[in-house]
Chains A and B, each alone.
Chain A
Amino acid sequence: MSAAGISEARAASGLTATLQHARHVITENPVTGFAFALFLLLVVTAILGPSLVPYDPLATDSSASLRPPSARHWFGTDQLGRDIFSRVVVATRLDMIIAVTSVAVVFAAGGLAGIAAGYFGGWTDRIVGRLADTIMAFPLFVLAMGIVAALGNTVTNIVIATAVVNFPLYARLARAEANIRRDAGFVMAARLSGNTDLRILLFHILPNILPIMVVQMSLTMGYAILNAAGLSFIGLGVRPPTPEWGIMVAEGAAGIISGEWWVALFPGLTLMGAVFCFNLLGDGVRDIVDPQRRT
Chain B
Amino acid sequence: MRVARQIGQRLVTALPSVAGVIVVTFLLTRILPGDTAAYFAGPAATPAAIEEIRARLGLDQTLPVQFLRYVGDLARGDFGASLTTGQPVLADITARLPASAELVLVALVLAVAIAVPLGIIAALKERSLIDHACRVVATAGVSLPVFFTGLLLVYVFYYILGWAPSPLGRLDVFASAPPTASGFFLIDSLLAGDVETFRATLAQLVLPAATLAIFALAPIARMTRGAMLSVLGSDFVRTARAAGLSPNTVVMGYAFRNAVLPVITTLGMVFSFLLGASVLVEKVFAWPGIGSYAVEALIASDYAPVQGFVLVMAVLYLLLNLCIDILYGLIDPRVRIDA
Contact = CB atoms under 8 A, between A and B. Distances in A.
B163 to A, nearest CB: 14
B306 A149 contact: yes
Given A141-B277, A234-B280, A272-B148, A134 B23 contact: yes
Contact of A235 (B23, B146, B275, B298): B298
Contacts of B181: none
B265 interface: no
Contacts of B20: 130, 133-134, 137
Contact of B283 (A130, A140, A150, A233): A233
A142 B313 contact: yes
Contacts of A259: 159
Nearest to B275: A139
B243 interface: no
A113 to B, nearest CB: 16
Interface of A: 130, 133-134, 137-147, 149-153, 222, 226, 229-230, 233-236, 246, 249-250, 252-253, 256-259, 261, 264-265, 268, 271-272, 275-276, 279-280
A138 B317 contact: yes
14 contacts: A133-B20, A138-B24, A141-B273, A141-B280, A142-B276, A145-B306, A149-B303, A153-B301, A226-B145, A233-B283, A234-B283, A249-B145, A261-B155, A268-B145
Nearest to A277: B143
Contacts of B280: 141, 230, 233-234
Nearest to B314: A138
A253 B143 contact: no
Contacts of B32: 150
Interface string B27-43: 11101110000000000
Main secondary structure of the interface of B (DSSP, over half): helix
B279 A138 contact: no
Contacts of B260: none
B272 A140 contact: yes
Contacts of B147: 230, 233, 246, 249-250, 253
B96 to A, nearest CB: 15
B237 interface: no
Contact of A257 (B16, B25, B159): B159
B145 A234 contact: no
B17 interface: yes
Contacts, number: 149
B21 A146 contact: no
Given A139-B276, A249-B145, A264-B151, A146 B306 contact: yes
Interface in B124-181: 139-140, 142-148, 151-152, 154-155, 158-159, 166-167
B25 A279 contact: no
- What are the 8 tightest A-B residue pairs by CB atom distance, in nearest-first order? A141-B276, A134-B20, A268-B148, A139-B275, A146-B310, A152-B33, A276-B143, A150-B28
Q: What's the interface size class on B, roughly?
A: 35 or more
Interface string B295-313: 1001101010011011001
A138 B313 contact: yes
A142 B309 contact: yes
Interface of B: 16-17, 20-21, 23-25, 27-29, 31-33, 139-140, 142-148, 151-152, 154-155, 158-159, 166-167, 271-273, 275-277, 279-280, 283-284, 294-295, 298-299, 301, 303, 306-307, 309-310, 313-314, 317-318
Most central of A142, A143, A152, A265 by chain B CB within 10 Å = A142
A279 B142 contact: yes
Contacts of B295: 234-235
A138 B145 contact: no
B143 A272 contact: yes
Contacts of B139: 276, 279-280
A280 B136 CA distance: 11
A153 B34 CA distance: 12
A234 to B, nearest CB: 5
Contacts of A258: 159
A137 B317 contact: yes
A145 B158 CA distance: 30
A149 B313 CA distance: 15
A140 B280 CA distance: 13
Given A139-B314, A235-B295, A236-B298, 11 more contacts: A138-B317, A141-B280, A143-B24, A143-B310, A146-B28, A151-B33, A233-B283, A234-B283, A234-B295, A268-B148, A272-B145
